[in-house]
Chain A
Amino acid sequence: GAVVSQHPSWVICKSGTSVKIECRSLDFQATTMFWYRQFPKQSLMLMATSNEGSKATYEQGVEKDKFLINHASLTLSTLTVTSAHPEDSSFYICSARQALLGAADTQYFGPGTRLTVL
């Protein structure tokens, strides 16, 4: 159980275009999903917290107009990188929070999406 998928696994796009990345919790409902960014050989940096049915909460320094997040259902959150530029090239990872009655919550991570902007 607790499987999270991401699509696409990799994408190459031209500068100035927009790219949408999907994050799905396959076997549980996730009221909260998280989006992280990871540069090569670096740690994961939280970009935003996505709550189903409400606006995402962005971390300091993350442009909300550039990284659009939508969490329309309990199993799907999307991240759209608008007007992508080469500096947006990175590995984007989502996670979904599995809330368990009587136990601590845990975040399960998707396989990541490697974005390359030419």
Chain B
Amino acid sequence: AQKVTQAQTEISVVEKEDVTLDCVYETRDTTYYLFWYKQPPSGELVFLIRRNSFDEQNEISGRYSWNFQKSTSSFNFTITASQVVDSAVYFCALSEDQGGGNKLTFGTGTQLKVEL
């Protein structure tokens, strides 16, 4: 069975600090997909990134970057120079089929609070 663990329940940082959100996953499949979603207070989940198990290249998108390491089954998310608007709950998720077209298993989420 697949499982996603986000050990950090809540993180508080001061604006402009860098912050890393951890995600560790478990799966028996060799083909799988990992995701990060952002859930602001409004409740809507915003898709941030999808990564397949064969692509271990790190990715950077503006202030966001992701570090995928199969050796440690981790897919960590770093926000550089955090801003108040980054305050949200961030979910890591795993899918074993079709890149997320089938079931997604979510972690428990990390509440990020960015303060002035």
**Residues on A close to B: CB < 8 A?**
2, 32, 34, 41-44, 46, 49, 91, 93, 95, 97, 99, 103-112, 114
Contacts and interface: CB of A to CB of B under 8 A. Distances in A.
8 contacts: A34-B104, A43-B91, A44-B91, A44-B106, A93-B43, A106-B47, A107-B100, A112-B43
Nearest to B9: A41
Interface of B: 33, 35, 37, 42-47, 50, 52, 91, 98-104, 106-109, 111
Which residue among B42, B45, B98, B106 has the maximum number of chain A CB atoms within 10 Å of its CB? B45
B33 A43 contact: no
A46 B50 contact: no
B106 to A, nearest CB: 5
Main secondary structure, interface of B, reads: mixed
Given A43-B109, A104-B98, A49 B43 contact: no
Contacts of B101: 32, 97, 99, 104-107
Contact of A106 (B42, B100, B109): B100
Contact of B103 (A43, A49, A93, A104): A49
Contacts of A95: 45, 104
B12 to A, nearest CB: 16
B108 A109 contact: no
B113 to A, nearest CB: 13
Contacts of B106: 43-44
Contacts of A104: 33, 50, 52, 98-101
Contacts of B100: 97, 104-107
A95 B47 CA distance: 11
B47 A108 contact: yes
